[in-house]
Each structure stands twice: as C-alpha cells, then as structure tokens.
A and B are shown apart, each in its own frame.
Chain A
Amino acid sequence: MTALLALLRRDIQVALRVGGGALIGVLFFLIVVVLMPFAVGPDLALLKKLGPAILWLGALLASLLTLDRLFAADHDDGSLDLLTMSRTPLELICLTKAIAHWLVAGLPLIVATPILGLLLNLDGDATVAVALTLLAGTPALTFTGMIGAALAVALRRGGLLLAVLVLPLSIPVLIFGVAASNAAVLEPAGFGAPLSILCALSLAGLVIGPLAAAASLRHGLD
C-alpha cells in the first residue's frame, strides 16, 4: 500500500513540475473550445446546439494527447523494470498510474468546463451537466487508453499505434457522453440512461484496463 501511495505521489509530482506536461491537455482543450466559436461564426443557437459535442470532442482529444507517455517515460528511464521487480502486483501498479494520470490530466478538463461553457453559449445547468458527464466518462477514456499505452511500450511502436488502437475504444464513450450532455440541454428526462452507461463504461474500464495493461507489459518485457 505504501508502495502504491508513493507511486501515486511521484507520478503527480513529476507531472506537476516543470516539463511534466500536466497542463498540455487542458491547454489543448482550451484552444479547441476557444477557436470553435470563431470557426462556426456568430450563430448563438447553432453554438448552443453544438456546445456539448465540442466540449466532449475537445476533452477526448486532450486526454489522448498525453496518454502515450503513461508508460513510455517509465520504460525509457528503466523505472518500469524496477517496478515489475517490486513486491506489488503489476495490475495495481497500472491502476495507480492510471489514477494519477486521470488526476493530473482528466480532472483539470472537468474543472475548466464551466468556464469554457460560457464561450459556447451554454447556460449554467447545461455546463454543470456536461461537467458531470465528463466526470463519469473521462475515467473510461483513461482506462481504455492505458491499454493502448501499455501495448505501445510492449510493441515498441509510438503514438500512431496508440491512436489507432484507442480511438475505436473511445467511440462508445464519446457517443454516450454527447448523448447525455445533449439530453441535459434539450430534454432533461433522457439524461439518466446515457449517464448510467457512461458510469458502467468507466467501471468496466476500471476492471479490464489494469488487467490488460499489466498483461501486455509483462508480455513485452525484454
């Protein structure tokens, strides 16, 4: 347990310090959402209609942007070798790394959403609803992305493989995330079902992700 807490702390510290890249994702999210109104034009009704989709797309791409370094950095400097030699199961190590990644890369996206919602002409309730769907859905993105990140290390292929592997897995999350957000904006009655599915995807990812990532890391050791 101390080993896992130490790993969580180290990953967060490394990400938050200079050159750690914790802010890359949220800056990218900011850029995508800020540029969108200029691209779409001054049509407030259209912006409001597209708003949830833009927020979700921005969040999805932003979280994919930093995922490929999840295991690659530890592999390159030899930390991964030592972690596999520790007395902690590799599955729990993967889970801890995913949680640390979500805390520094996923959580800031959710915090930024209410501010960015203003730019997309979303009212208060709608932005809170979108933030809630992101809170339920982004863990699923991290956990499925972790499988791709582990495979990228195991197969020694870079970011392209990650995108090809992870994008199909993240499409269901995007569909239900946008469905839940749109329901919150247009017809609040239909909000519950897609949100439950998002939660289910995150919980399934929580179980499958660490197992699959640990299996592929073990297979790819050399």
Chain B
Amino acid sequence: MGRAAMRLTGSQLRCVRGGREIFAGLDFTADAGEPLAVVGANGAGKTSLLRLIAGLIAPAGGSVTFAGGEDDLSPAEQAHYLGHRDALKSALSVMENLTFWRAALGGEATDLDAALNAVGLDHIAQLPAAYLSAGQRRRLSIARLLAVKRPIWLLDEPTSSLDANGQAMMADLMRAHLSRGGVIVAATHLPLGIAARELRIGERVS
C-alpha cells in the first residue's frame, strides 16, 4: 500500500450514558490484519464502545485516533458500523437499498452484483426488503461493507441471526478484509470464527 500500517487507537476513553458511567480509562489498539474482539457481560458497554468509535456517542473523556488512513477524515468517516438496526427501507428492493448506501457512504463504482453474490442474495436482488428474513436482512447489511470500501469495520454481534453457512461466510469476509490491511473491531458473545485478540471490558471484581 506504500503507507504505514493502519492502527486504530483509543486512549483513556470514558463513556457516560444516562448519568451512569459505563467504563472509564479504557485503552485499546486495533492493528491492521488482527481483529479485536470486544467481550464482556450484557451491559458492559460493548455496543457503547463501538458507537463511540463510530462517532455516534461523544466520549466523556479520552480520544480515538486512526493512523495510516486518510488524514483529512475522522475515524468515523472511514468506518463501517454494522449495528443491531439494519438501516434498510422496507419499501425499497434489496438492490435499491444497497445502491442508496453505496452512493450515500462512498460513491465509488463498486460492483454491487458481486457484493450481493458474496452474501448470497443475488437471486432476490429485486425483492422488496420487507419480505426478507432476519438473517437475510443481516446479509444485506453485510453487503454494504463490501459495496463501500472503508478501512475500519465496527461489527456489533456480526454473526447474530446468521445460519452456520452465513457465519462461515462472515468469517471468510472478515479474513479477506484483514488480508487487505483492514481493521476490525467486533463486539461479540459468539465465536467469530477467526482468531482474534480479546479486549475484555466491564470486569468487576467479585
């Protein structure tokens, strides 16, 4: 790539939601090529951490920096966020949803058919999203990560509602992204299917 390897760093992050401190003094680094798995109990702040990196929550303290990317863009503008809510419009077809997000997020002329093919939805490209199952909606959200090239993937329970086949597919896609020098931060309870470094948050001494 000709530039320094990418590295996402959070230092002394503090997150407060609804007047309650979720975590404080949190440090992490996510390097290109090695996924960071955020683990912890329910309510430990896994989703909060991802949303904080994505710029969707303002940190109460600390900062997130991204080295090796585009200097004039914030980390959030170089990141994909795959959350619980899938950002799909039921009235639009599978292809229309994907076309919209490609234009809204990046605008590069990537091959949408290939992206749909990769997640196994190419046979229902013209079906309105209203008729998709939970797993298919998840697959369509994952196709968004392929349709727009962004170096950071923030994945919140990426394998939820996917079948065994879909989980293997997601592991392959993550591996491919990492081998291109991408960064992955995933919050999960389930095994990701690939070797990952663990970041344990919200541990209370008991």
List A residues at the B interface (Cβ < 8 Å): 2-3, 5-7, 9-10, 13-14, 17-20, 76-79, 81-88, 221-222
List residues of chain B with CB within 8 A of the CB of A83: 104
Do A81 and B56 touch across chains, with their CB atoms under 8 A apart? yes
Measured in the bound complex, the distance between the Cα atoms of B148 and A2 in whole Å is 14
A11 → chain B closest CB, angstroms? 9
What residues of A have a CB within 8 angstroms of the CB of B56 in the complex?
A: 81, 84-85, 221-222
**CB-nearest residue of chain B relative to A78?**
B85
CB<8 Å pairs between A and B, sample of 6: A3-B107, A10-B100, A81-B83, A82-B81, A82-B101, A86-B77
- Are the CB atoms of B91 and A84 closer together than 8 Å? no
Contact check, A7 vs B104: say whether CB atoms are below 8 A apart.
Answer: yes
How far is A117 from B54 in the complex, measured between Cα atoms in Å? 52
Q: How far is the CA of A18 from the CA of B93 in the complex (A)?
A: 13
Q: How far is the CA of A20 from the CA of B130 in the complex (A)?
A: 13
Residue contact B107 to A85, C-beta cutoff 8 Å: no
Q: How far is the CA of A18 from the CA of B90 in the complex (A)?
A: 10
- Dominant secondary structure at the B interface: loop
Interface residue count on the B side (C-beta < 8 Å): 31
Q: With a CB–CB cut-off of 8 A, which chain A residues contact B180? A: none
A86 near B55: Cβ-Cβ < 8 Å = no
B113 interfacial contact with A, CB 8 Å: no
B88's contact among A3, A77, A84, A88, by CB below 8 Å, is which? A77
Residues of A with C-beta under 8 A to B6: none
Give 11 new A-B contacts, CB below 8 A, not counting A10-B92, A78-B86: A6-B100, A7-B100, A18-B91, A78-B84, A79-B87, A82-B104, A85-B55, A85-B105, A86-B104, A221-B56, A221-B57
**Shortest Cβ distance from B80 into A: residue:** A85
The closest CB in chain B to the CB of A17 belongs to B91
B104 with A6: CB separation less than 8 A: yes
A82-B87 contact, Cβ under 8 Å, with A2-B107, A3-B104, A221-B58: yes
Residue of B whose beta carbon sits closest to that of A74: B87
B103 within 8 A of A: yes
Per-position binary interface string of chain B over residues 71-111, scored 1 when its CB falls under 8 Å from any chain A CB and 0 otherwise: 00100110101011111111110001001110111110000
